[in-house]
Structure 1
Amino acid sequence: MKAQIIEAFGGPSAFKLAEIEKPDVLPGYVLIKVHATSVNPIDTKVRGGAVPAVSPEFPAVLHGDVAGVVEEVGEGVADFKSGDEVFGCAGGFKGTGGALAEYMLADARLLARKPGNITMEEAAALPLVSITAWEALFERANIQPGQNVLIHAAAGGVGHVAIQLAKWAGAKVHTTASSQEKLDMAASLGADAGINYKEKSVQDYVQAYTDGKGFDIVFDTVGGENLNRSFEAAAIHGTVAAIAARSTHDLSPLHAKGLSLHVVFMLLKIINENERKQHGEILKKIAGLVEEGKLRPLIDSNSFTFDQVSDAHALLESGEAVGKVVLKNNW
């Protein structure tokens, strides 16, 4: 089968079109005819060698997010049959094959049926970001109706899904972005208030939107110095959930406010096989919300094919993408 592979860590140009063996179906697995995938920041980090502990062996097929049609079902799989449309984040990391190929071998526990009211490309945009946002808000931060929630990076992959999930949960949703265009987009997804972080300091918006008390939950999808700003924005006994915490910080603000800090790394449930079922269960809930019209993916206006994967990675790394960068299988 055709696949985009990397033979060494490198920049966006590291991808190379190759012919590799089509995987044989295994017990508990399904073989998916891949229709679409999407690029996540973790995919660019794997490609660049920043996270060798979760990287597959070379030659490597990258990308976890997949949407496609079940071609073949392995022994013991009861939830899917040949011809089913599915989606999931099912590989591209240590010990697994990725979605940048004609076919992907996927553990059935990591998949769910694709929502019937969206395209394959839209479905491929959802798995990693929606699982991440769900785990952060519901499993870790224990979001409750009426809480004041701050979500950083409204136009990002995780951020735009988190806005919709927090709104569905009944929270009052505030979000940050760098432009009015992105804040308008956030409002269309249900955000109650948009904050241009280039124009307002943390102290300014904490005073404006919480009377100086701080936010009950701060979801930081940015990391680095922004994690410090998240600590500053949180209320006494508040919760900070972070997905980019590979950095060094002074924990004094956590102590001063009695904050809880939760770090979410959704790949752990792919790498640790005994936890994979939880991803499929979350995706079933996500699919239900999509079909009810409560959640929709935001797709960047630039479209790519698998032959243009280098361009897709370059766009995501440029910081100019709005929403998810999606690739359609053209093979």
Structure 2
Amino acid sequence: MKPLSKMQALIVDDFQTATFRTVEIPRPQPTAHQVLVRIKASGVNPLDSKIRTGKAPHAKPVLPAVLGTDLAGIVEAVGQDVTAFQVGDEVYGLTGGVGGLQGSLAEFAAVNADLLAKKPTNLSMREAAALPLVFLTAWEGLVDRANVRADQKVLILGGSGGVGHVAVQIAKARGAKVFATASVAKHDIVQQLGAVPLDYRSTSIEQIVQTFTDGHGFDVVYDTVGGSTLDDAFQAVGNYGHVVSCYGWGQHSLMPLSRKSGTYSGVFVLLPLLTGKGHAHHGDILRQATQLAQTNQLRPVVDPRHFTLDTALAAHEAVEAGTAVIKIAIDL
């Protein structure tokens, strides 16, 4: 039996072997403006496996590291001046695993209280842990940048992915008419989430624009894929429209966008964690997620497989192989 001052965690030592090592490390104590969370579930994003394998230098990992960006759990203790939470509260958030911050593949984490929100009462810990990074990424693009609103036509490129399937639900909740590209096998999921599913492989972007907007283009296009898909987003947007991307890292011609007087916004959801600025806004956005979930306008799709700390590497490999049913969570 381990002492109360210790906790179990997974450590990644290097990017070459890129494996997890089970260790006992000191249990953190909350300092001022922090809460100690007993972690019940850790969400797995493509970013998490990229960090583990050294493919995400922009996340500024500091090795050896406890990875895991998203968590859901129960407040175990509160630091000085924390008034928003109390012991026993169920919370969730995008709280670490980057920039030298301890991640969620551990039994406990001491995290900035501003990054957290109370967990939706109608979601399980697994479902809540699947939400923060993808919801924050979708909301920052659709709401903070593009101000999606009723009666707009919105196209989500990659609508059955982690960010995409949440973006569909946010746009629908705000009254937009939503269209989303997805593989044919996932059209049913996209339709259930509230979007018109589009077959991107057999239909050109020009055909999509002609069929669903009478050639005028979409008011807002959210690219969650990057590369040539972002170029297609510039083709798909209408005059004075707005393109958003969370993968806008390549070389692209802005001419198609500029000739429509369109605007572009990039989304880099890790900025508050990496800079220490903007924590409170992330907490505010997650409170919006809680409200949407509790009014049955938001529900993450979580893979039914159950992973634990012992099988965390298999969870990462499932994400890497593309076999996940949208989101995967690790149970603690």
Q: TM-score, normalised by structure 2?
A: 0.95
User: Partners in 2 of 1:237 and 1:326 — Cα distance?
Assistant: 39
Q: 2:89 aligns to what? A: 84
Match of 1:213 among 204, 211, 216: 216
Match of 1:250 among 253, 265, 269: 253
Secondary structure of the 1:257 match is: coil
User: Partners in 2 of 1:202 and 1:293 — Cα distance?
Assistant: 32
Structure 2: gaps (5+ residues) = 1-6
User: Partners in 2 of 1:322 and 1:209 — Cα distance?
Assistant: 28
Secondary structure of the 1:203 match is: helix
* 1:201-280 alignment, distance < 5 Å: 201-280=204-283
Deviation at 1:10, TM superposition (A): 4.0
* 1:53-92 alignment, distance < 5 Å: 53-92=58-97
Q: Superposition RMSD on alpha carbons, in Å?
A: 1.2
Deviation at 1:53, TM superposition (A): 4.1
Q: 2:102 aligns to what? A: 97
Deviation at 1:236, TM superposition (A): 1.7
Percent of aligned positions that are identical:
44
Secondary structure of the 2:167 match is: helix
Q: Is the 8 A contact 2:35 2:110 kept in 1?
A: yes
Stretch of structure 1 that moved more, 46-55 or 95-104 = 46-55
User: 2:265 corresponds to which letter in structure 1?
Assistant: H
Q: 2:9 aligns to what? A: 3
Stretch of structure 1 that moved more, 223-232 or 313-322 = 313-322
Q: 2:4 aligns to what? A: none
Q: 2:56 aligns to what? A: 51
Match of 1:182 among 166, 183, 186: 186
Q: Is the 8 A contact 1:154 1:183 kept in 2?
A: no
Secondary structure of the 1:185 match is: helix
Number of residue pairs the alignment of both structures matches:
326
Q: 2:172 aligns to what? A: 167
User: Partners in 2 of 1:230 and 1:308 — Cα distance?
Assistant: 38
Q: TM-score, normalised by structure 1?
A: 0.95
Q: 1:304 aligns to what? A: 307
User: Partners in 2 of 1:262 and 1:41 — Cα distance?
Assistant: 21
Match of 1:127 among 124, 128, 132: 132
User: 1:222 corresponds to which letter in structure 2?
Assistant: V
User: 1:233 corresponds to which letter in structure 2?
Assistant: A
Match of 1:199 among 197, 202, 226: 202
Runs of 4 or more above 6 Å deviation: none
Deviation at 1:280, TM superposition (A): 0.5
User: Partners in 2 of 1:183 and 1:80 — Cα distance?
Assistant: 40
Q: 2:31 aligns to what? A: 26
User: Partners in 1 of 2:327 and 2:79 — Cα distance?
Assistant: 31
Q: Is the 8 A contact 1:154 1:182 kept in 2?
A: no
User: Partners in 2 of 1:131 and 1:39 — Cα distance?
Assistant: 15
Q: Is the 8 A contact 2:65 2:100 kept in 1?
A: no
Deviation at 1:211, TM superposition (A): 0.6
User: Partners in 1 of 2:294 and 2:244 — Cα distance?
Assistant: 27
Q: Is the 8 A contact 1:155 1:322 kept in 2?
A: no
Secondary structure of the 1:187 match is: helix
User: Partners in 2 of 1:80 and 1:10 — Cα distance?
Assistant: 40
Secondary structure of the 2:256 match is: helix
Stretch of structure 1 that moved more, 34-43 or 165-174 = 34-43
User: Partners in 1 of 2:167 and 2:109 — Cα distance?
Assistant: 28
Stretch of structure 1 that moved more, 199-208 or 52-61 = 52-61
Deviation at 1:26, TM superposition (A): 0.8
Stretch of structure 1 that moved more, 64-73 or 294-303 = 294-303
User: Partners in 1 of 2:11 and 2:181 — Cα distance?
Assistant: 36
Q: Is the 8 A contact 1:143 1:171 kept in 2?
A: yes
Secondary structure of the 1:238 match is: strand
